[in-house]
Structure 1
């Protein structure tokens, strides 16, 4: 039987949050089967907290080389993934994306996608540029519905720029330019998830991906998976050779960015975020706040405030704790996130 702490440590080990990975940024992104990338900066911070010696330029180069791409995938949200994983994952997740597009009635999706493909063949477009052009061809439609249908149904990637975090606020999109896997494997997809987030339930896998029908996939893989039990009696699946170091292994302080994939990786998030703190992490408008981990579990939220040359990392603890235990990691994070600041401080938010 696996305790909650056992699950916590097993997942942290796979997420490179017990010890930073010695390798490349692309390695980390691949090992995690993608990082949530709703905004430009969080993936950089997500890699930084998991990779030893990481420099911003490495991820920037990978994006410009096309080794890594930022595109719509799991749960119909933006993710940073390797180009190879995009080719494998996008066909599997098509039902998720198509279902999201069907929320809007009165849109001839095939015709809209054909029109968008013709426009994007001329060159990359932001959606603020693309939507008015589509509206001219489909004047009875809502232009935001048109844009959303294109975003969900076309294999598109964001075009990186020379911006600090590789993308502007209003990024351009272009056709993905990769050959999608004609025979994607749901079993391989499930194995990738377990390698990054396991041990886990079928509900966890479905919550992470947004894709239904995966319980039967995992059940059909029992002969090559370990079937375990949680302390609450739930059935957990895992890879036989995946790390499970035990709940008594020390876990260092770690800072996770907004929308971090770890926080969103399970239906039951208690292995990282206690139920009583969940509402403090995910807001009513579905923003997922940046969190920090003490002893492996979310102990508060954080944000960086910049004023002139001064950068402040402000933490809001869920319960009182010694702020000095955050100092070393917070100082390193500020140096990475705000390298041109001449004064960097850690502060505790006032009640």
Structure 2
């Protein structure tokens, strides 16, 4: 079995994540290709797509949200994602058990006396009038049935797990500040959620989509991305159509036969990634793109810069400038490349009105 080192996996990841070359794709197709974008920070998906799509127009993504072709909903890992409407409907049933268990894991003692079926029924009844509501408004409407239960527990279980919800626009629209207001997914889209196939609980189609966007990857990586159980049986049923490799840690890696696996020496351009980007959080073993010593950045909401395909700096906007904070020393060529891409990002964020970028002193 062929062994793929971290550099080979890195270049495959960059290619699959549209980070090796920006793609000539409509925004909807790009969101679908990467299997959704993590989106608890409303504006971050715009930077994620800017780094992946050539000539990306943020208005195109806003229009998709307003036109109900993409939605903001809780799904993979029980976190908020921006997904195509089709994927939200196709994948929701496969995530139901995981979503419930994760919320129960946080609030089990608080919810011990709550009939979850009744909570879902009462919540749906409140929302039946089609009026979007905040979580606080929903909790006030259902709390009379469970006055002793902490509101946070009722709200989290109802909104994140029991009733598939969307966060309706203008939340998530480009350069728009708006609070979270919720409606049921089926009411917002006017379509039903796809039923779960009992003989394919994890969903072979979803695994193929993951591998197309993240492979080669181990079963543990797929589980870490989705949070869904039942993957060993799903993978076993698919083995005849997959190719396998090993990484340097000895893990078996799965992949689609014709998927891109570029030469490890392929040059990788500088890329600025948003907080909680898929290219990092989509794996259990993230060493293909970030050093173990810096892994904490990936869950702390730090925006990162890829240099030669790996996390080499963090960035943020300060005093109307994109400011870069290196994690290691840069060569002169790397520093120039970071400055050039940072200037392009600054221009994007300022709508062409400015291109200020600062690269702090290299670490000693």
Give me the TM-score of the superposition, normalised by structure 2.
Answer: 0.90
Query: Cα 1:163–1:47, aligned 2, differ >3 Å: closer, same or farther?
Result: closer
Whole-angstrom CA distance in 1 between matches of 2:153 and 2:361: 40
Whole-angstrom CA distance in 2 between matches of 1:89 and 1:313: 36
Give 3-state SS (helix, strand or coil) of 2:154's partner: helix
Q: Deviations over 1:235-264 (max 9, x none)?
A: 100000100012111110000000111110
Matched, 1:316 2:320: no
Query: Cα 1:183–1:108, aligned 2, differ >3 Å: closer, same or farther?
Result: closer
Matched, 1:112 2:119: yes
TM-aligned CA deviation for residue 169 of structure 1: 4.8
1:67-86 → structure 2 map (5 Å cutoff): 67-86=69-88
Matched, 1:249 2:251: no
Query: Is the CA contact 1:49–1:254 (under 8 Å) kept in the aligned structure 2?
Result: yes
Whole-angstrom CA distance in 2 between matches of 1:343 and 1:49: 16
2:30 corresponds to: 28
Higher deviation after alignment, 102-111 or 237-246: 102-111
2:174 corresponds to: 165
2:347 corresponds to: 335
Give 3-state SS (helix, strand or coil) of 1:248's partner: coil
Matched, 1:222 2:230: no
Is there any run of 5+ residues in structure 2 with no aligned partner, and where? Answer: none
2:338 corresponds to: 326
1:289 corresponds to: 302
Query: Is the CA contact 2:329–2:362 (under 8 Å) kept in the aligned structure 1?
Result: no
Whole-angstrom CA distance in 2 between matches of 1:347 and 1:303: 11
Give 3-state SS (helix, strand or coil) of 2:208's partner: helix
Query: Cα 1:3–1:163, aligned 2, differ >3 Å: closer, same or farther?
Result: closer
Whole-angstrom CA distance in 2 between matches of 1:139 and 1:153: 19
Query: Is the CA contact 1:258–1:290 (under 8 Å) kept in the aligned structure 2?
Result: yes
Whole-angstrom CA distance in 1 between matches of 2:117 and 2:176: 29
How many residue pairs match? The answer is 343
Whole-angstrom CA distance in 2 between matches of 1:220 and 1:349: 52
Give 3-state SS (helix, strand or coil) of 2:249's partner: coil
Give 3-state SS (helix, strand or coil) of 1:150's partner: helix
Is there any run of 5+ residues in structure 1 with no aligned partner, and where? Answer: none
Whole-angstrom CA distance in 2 between matches of 1:166 and 1:312: 17
Query: Is the CA contact 1:159–1:167 (under 8 Å) kept in the aligned structure 2?
Result: no
Query: Cα 1:191–1:100, aligned 2, differ >3 Å: closer, same or farther?
Result: same
Query: Cα 1:162–1:155, aligned 2, differ >3 Å: closer, same or farther?
Result: closer
Give 3-state SS (helix, strand or coil) of 2:280's partner: coil
Q: Deviations over 1:215-234 (max 9, x none)?
A: 23212211000011222221
Higher deviation after alignment, 256-265 or 122-131: 122-131
Query: Cα 1:303–1:68, aligned 2, differ >3 Å: closer, same or farther?
Result: same
Query: Is the CA contact 1:302–1:316 (under 8 Å) kept in the aligned structure 2?
Result: yes
Whole-angstrom CA distance in 2 between matches of 1:4 and 1:187: 27
Give me the TM-score of the superposition, normalised by structure 1.
Answer: 0.93
Give 3-state SS (helix, strand or coil) of 2:356's partner: strand
Whole-angstrom CA distance in 2 between matches of 1:343 and 1:264: 29
Whole-angstrom CA distance in 1 between matches of 2:361 and 2:116: 48
Query: Cα 1:210–1:150, aligned 2, differ >3 Å: closer, same or farther?
Result: same
Matched, 1:153 2:162: yes
Higher deviation after alignment, 45-54 or 110-119: 110-119
Query: Is the CA contact 2:171–2:179 (under 8 Å) kept in the aligned structure 1?
Result: no
